A and B are shown apart, each in its own frame.
Chain A
Amino acid sequence: MNEQKDEKWLDELISRSIDTSEPKFDAEQWKQKHPGEFQALVERGARRPQGARFGVLSIVMRSRIAQVAAAAVFMIAVGLFIAHLDHDGQPQGQPEQLAKSPAEMVTSASLRTAYNRGGMEALEEQCDRAARILGQGSPGGGQGSLSMADLFEDLNG
């Protein structure tokens, strides 16, 4: 027998042998039979607005790449914060804002902080500021002729 005839013969036999009539889906019957599952599906729509609050978090948690990127951003942020702190764990600021008097401005800690901030120039500038403040408070002050050596000599006696 040729292939075409063979196929027709077989198709007819299969159709006769198994019940292949189109099954009809009865949605109402199915809903009655599986009420819990259908209700769970429909209730999702009602719950959705509350879940939207965590949209960014859910986007991050959904993808592995997003998780790695979020972790990297967090680590960089922590690194920058730590770099922003000085060795004492205090945020860097202007030494004169922390020191309450000219004497405090020329303590070793204040001078070291000034040096760390701007090297010798910052150190000398801080000393000049301390001297200016001292000069303003003393009789005949405001001359601006006090050098760093004179200041150290005066402080050390």
Chain B
Amino acid sequence: MAQGPDSGLVEAAANGDGDSFTELCRRYYPAMVAIAHSILGDRHLAEDVAQQAFATAAVKLRQLRQKGQFAGWLAAICRNEARDILRSRKPVCSIEGRPATSESDENAVCEPVRAALNKLSASAREVVFLRFYDGMSYEQISAVLGISEQALNGRLRRAKKKLAEYLRRDGYGEARL
């Protein structure tokens, strides 16, 4: 994502322009939902957390000194909100799947993948969710994570390698799934 347009919107929002702020929310909503989803494992709760993160950002926006780092700052707020929710819940956290489908064996196919995703480190799981959520470019993801696109590629490759390793270790090779 280009630094310029983002910084201009952040500056305007910090000066009280509500439209600029809602445009920033629209731009980063998928990323925030993906981050919260990777932590909480619940899509609906993740959407609530993302909206709460925007509310916190609206109040604290004046405290952000480097306007170009809005995406990373917002992501940090979202992670904290999600972790607070996670701490207040029961310690069970498993990633929920897509809405129920007509195929009866869908869960049997997807459950091992969700279990393997839960075994990944928080940062590896986050990068996988960010990559697979629709509506986000590599540029946006790297802005949110505060890393270069090359570093993002490397992190994603390592996360997927680990995921495949967990699946094979649990006996779920390509043939079985």
Contacts and interface: CB of A to CB of B under 8 A. Distances in A.
Contact of B58 (A7, A40, A48): A40
Interface stretch (A30-38, A121-129, A145-153): A30-38
A44 B129 contact: no
A10 B95 CA distance: 17
Given A1-B174, A17-B98, A22 B15 contact: no
A30 B30 contact: no
A22 B16 contact: no
A46 to B, nearest CB: 7
A18 B129 contact: yes
A45 interface: yes
Q: List the 9 shortest-distance A-B pairs measured between CB atoms, nearest first.
A: A45-B16, A22-B135, A25-B29, A22-B134, A17-B110, A17-B113, A34-B55, A44-B16, A27-B22
Nearest to A47: B16
B8 interface: no
Residue with the greatest number of chain B CB neighbours at <10 A, chosen from A15, A40, A43, A48: A40
A19 B113 contact: no
Interface residues of B, number: 50
Contacts of A13: 109-110, 113, 167, 177
A30 B25 contact: yes
Given A13-B177, A38-B18, 18 more contacts: A14-B113, A16-B110, A17-B113, A17-B117, A18-B37, A19-B99, A20-B133, A21-B134, A23-B50, A27-B25, A30-B22, A30-B54, A34-B51, A38-B21, A41-B16, A42-B16, A43-B16, A47-B16
26 contacts: A10-B164, A13-B109, A13-B113, A13-B167, A14-B113, A14-B117, A14-B128, A14-B132, A17-B98, A18-B37, A18-B95, A18-B114, A18-B129, A20-B133, A20-B134, A22-B135, A23-B30, A25-B22, A25-B25, A27-B25, A34-B54, A37-B59, A38-B18, A41-B18, A44-B14, A48-B16
Given A18-B132, A19-B98, A34-B58, A7 B29 contact: no
A11 to B, nearest CB: 8
For the residues of B in contact with A, the DSSP-based class is helix
Interface of A: 1, 6-7, 9-11, 13-25, 27, 30-31, 33-34, 37-38, 40-48
Interface string B1-26: 00000000000011111100110011
B97 interface: yes
Interface of B: 13-18, 21-22, 25-26, 29-30, 33-34, 37, 43, 47, 50-52, 54-56, 58-59, 61-62, 95-99, 106, 109-110, 113-114, 117, 128-129, 132-135, 160, 163-164, 167, 174, 177
Contacts of B164: 6, 10
Residue with the greatest number of chain B CB neighbours at <10 A, chosen from A17, A40, A42, A43: A17
Nearest to A62: B65
Contact of B29 (A18, A23, A42): A23
B133 A22 contact: yes
Contacts of B134: 20-22
Nearest to A7: B160
